[in-house]
Amino acid sequence: MDTQTLRLFVLACETLNISAAGRALGMAPAVASTRIAKLEHLVGADLLHRSTRKVSLSLEGRDFLPYAREMIALEETALAALGTGRTTISGTLRFAAPSTFAQLYIAPLLPKFMDKYPDLRLDLHLSDSEFDLIEGSYDLALRNSALADSSLTARKLADDTRILCASPAYLERYGTPNTAEGLTKHRLIAFKNNEARSLASHDGTQMQFDPKAAAHYLTVNDGLTQKLTTLDGGGISINSLWAVQKEIAEGTLVRVLPDYELANKPALWLIYPKSNVVSAKVRVFMDFLIEHFGRQNVSRKTS
């Protein structure tokens, strides 16, 4: 199977434009279309749906895409082992991450990464909403929840300590809770859903952060909105320490029940499609992030 045609297919999936993918690889539009048609004939399935207005990935194309990437990665790895492969990392890396973390910590590092790999193009998707890594054709993603999808692989980037905090103005107006029961008398800000969260102290004592039991609660699905609402006196919320450490140091936010943290020890994970071979572009970006953040609490690493 021709790996150049596989590269064309992968790039067409990423751009949803066969002609543009062909031009990026030095092919005329007619040649690119012919190559895709021959690949579809070879595998016996329509991999891309075409119309006069757009190109979209078929179900068969979505299933075939990770294998196409793996075959390309295998060729590159084999040639590199012989010293005859590409000397530069190139192509397009599609990376998805929670917006707040990316804005604070990843965006400032990107110029350094791009200087190191000038032939690699980055396509970033920043959102706190849930997304499908395979369906979205992402090469790599950052998530702050446990991996449930068996078609994906995870590599731990850093621990993610979560704490309770509120603004001084809110605490002056409504008082500072000293117990779990005291939280029910307050306004709570919940992230993504209003489910109860378990908190644990250093001595092992546990308590519940339960928005439904509170006098008032607000649910948001964006980390920056949650922090801004907390800063403006909207209530008490659970935040990643990396997201609020600057505000706590400045005194614009205050830790509430400071002996307690989220009990399930969350972490930040790098997620990518399961494969026997990790492509060079994914490997160098993962290594770059791990080099800067390491396997420790991000807030301590970046403070």
C-beta separation of 107 from 152 below 8 A? no
Residues 211, 196: Cα–Cα separation, whole Å? 7
What is the share, in percent, of the chain residues with pLDDT greater than 90? 32
Q: What average pLDDT does the segment 196-215 reach?
A: 85
Which residue bears the tokens 């339960």? 210
**Distance set, CA 195 to CA 64, 133, 201, 205 (Å):** 37, 25, 20, 20
- Pairing of β 267-273 and β 152-159: antiparallel
Among candidates 239, 240, 221, 74, which has minimal Cα distance to 157? 240
Among candidates 232, 111, 239, 247, which has minimal Cα distance to 169? 232
What end-to-end distance do the CA atoms of the chain give, in Å? 49
C-beta separation of 282 from 140 below 8 A? yes
pLDDT tens for 225-276 read: 999 999 999 999 999 998 999 999 999 999 999 998 888 878 888 888 776 5
Residues 142, 272: Cα–Cα separation, whole Å? 9
With 90 as the cut, is the pLDDT of residue 50 above it?
no
Residues 267, 160: Cα–Cα separation, whole Å? 5
What backbone torsions phi and psi does residue 22 show, to the nearest 5 degrees? Answer: -65, -45
C-beta separation of 5 from 42 below 8 A? no
pLDDT tens for 66-103 read: 888 888 877 877 776 665 555 567 778 889 888 888 88
Angle at 240 between CA 236 and CA 243, to 5 degrees: 95
Which residue bears the tokens 């000038």? 118
Q: In the prediction, which pLDDT does 263 show?
A: 83
Which domains are delineated in the chain?
1-87 (1.10.10.10), 162-262 (3.40.190.290)
Q: Residue 129, SS3? A: coil
Amino acid (1-letter code) at residue 199: L
With 70 as the cut, is the pLDDT of residue 115 above it?
yes
Residues 178, 265: Cα–Cα separation, whole Å? 22
C-beta separation of 31 from 100 below 8 A? no
Range with top average pLDDT, 13-22, 139-148, 291-300 = 13-22
- Side-chain half-sphere exposure of 82, counting CA atoms within 13 A: 7
C-beta separation of 144 from 191 below 8 A? no
C-beta separation of 187 from 235 below 8 A? yes
pLDDT tens for 121-143 read: 888 888 877 666 655 677 888 88
pLDDT band at 160 (very low <50, low <70, confident <90, very high): confident
Q: In the prediction, which pLDDT does 297 show?
A: 47
Beta bridge partners of 125: 96
